[in-house]
């Protein structure tokens, strides 16, 4: 009788020890390598506006280098990804660059380097840039 009780106790201890060991191993793995990457589909699009006037700006180049995305704003200041949706990492942040490539055709605008989160890319972006002013 005591032997049966002793065997049950040993099995219970082995089960508990094994369970805690497996859990500890999972936590250690996640701490070292992080959670698994999750990807979502997003259509990159948005509008570039003048910081002071709020007017749309045409002829600016918007790019997200890590995604290989580049587009030029149209007459309404709108840019969009012609390839449709892209797969982006759900919890990542992305560097966005806006550059004036048409020189002074519609005024000279300062470059913008900013960071946006994946959650922001899933909705139309609104980017604001300053017009370059000469010091008098």
Q: What is the CATH number of the domain that holds 72?
A: 2.60.40.1120
Indicate if 21 and 54 belong to the same structural domain.
Answer: no
pLDDT of residue 11: 79
68 lies in which domain range?
A: 39-129
**pLDDT, tens digit, for every residue of 63-100?**
999 999 999 999 999 999 988 899 999 889 999 999 99
Judge whether 27 lies within some domain: yes
136 found inside a domain = no
Q: State whether 30 and 54 are in the same domain.
A: no
Instruction: Identify the CA nearest to 112 among candidates 123, 96, 126.
Output: 96
Which has the closest alpha carbon to 76: 93, 59, 94, 61?
A: 59
**51 lies in some domain:** yes
Q: Domain for residue 135, yes or no?
A: no
- The answer as to whether 32 is a domain residue is yes
Spans in the chain with pLDDT lower than 70: 1-2, 4-5, 16-22, 24-27, 29-32, 34-35, 135-136
pLDDT at 136: 43
- The number of folded domains in the chain is 2
pLDDT at 40: 92
**DSSP character for 66?**
G
What stretch of H or E contains 31?
helix 2-33
pTM score: 0.72
Shared-domain flag, residues 16 and 75:
no
């Amino acid at each position: 009788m005591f032997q049966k009780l002793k065997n049950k106790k040993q099995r219970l201890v082995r089960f508990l020890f094994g369970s805690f060991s497996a859990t500890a191993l999972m936590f250690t793995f996640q701490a070292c390598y992080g959670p698994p990457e999750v990807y979502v589909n997003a259509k990159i699009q948005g509008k570039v506006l003048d910081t002071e006037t709020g007017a749309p700006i045409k002829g600016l180049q918007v790019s997200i280098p890590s995604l290989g995305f580049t587009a030029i704003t149209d007459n309404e200041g709108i840019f969009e990804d012609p390839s449709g949706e892209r797969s982006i990492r759900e919890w990542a942040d992305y560097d966005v660059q806006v550059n004036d490539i048409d020189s002074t055709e519609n005024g000279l605008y300062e470059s913008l380097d900013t960071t946006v989160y994946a959650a922001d890319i899933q909705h139309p972006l609104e980017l604001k840039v300053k017009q370059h002013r000469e010091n008098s």
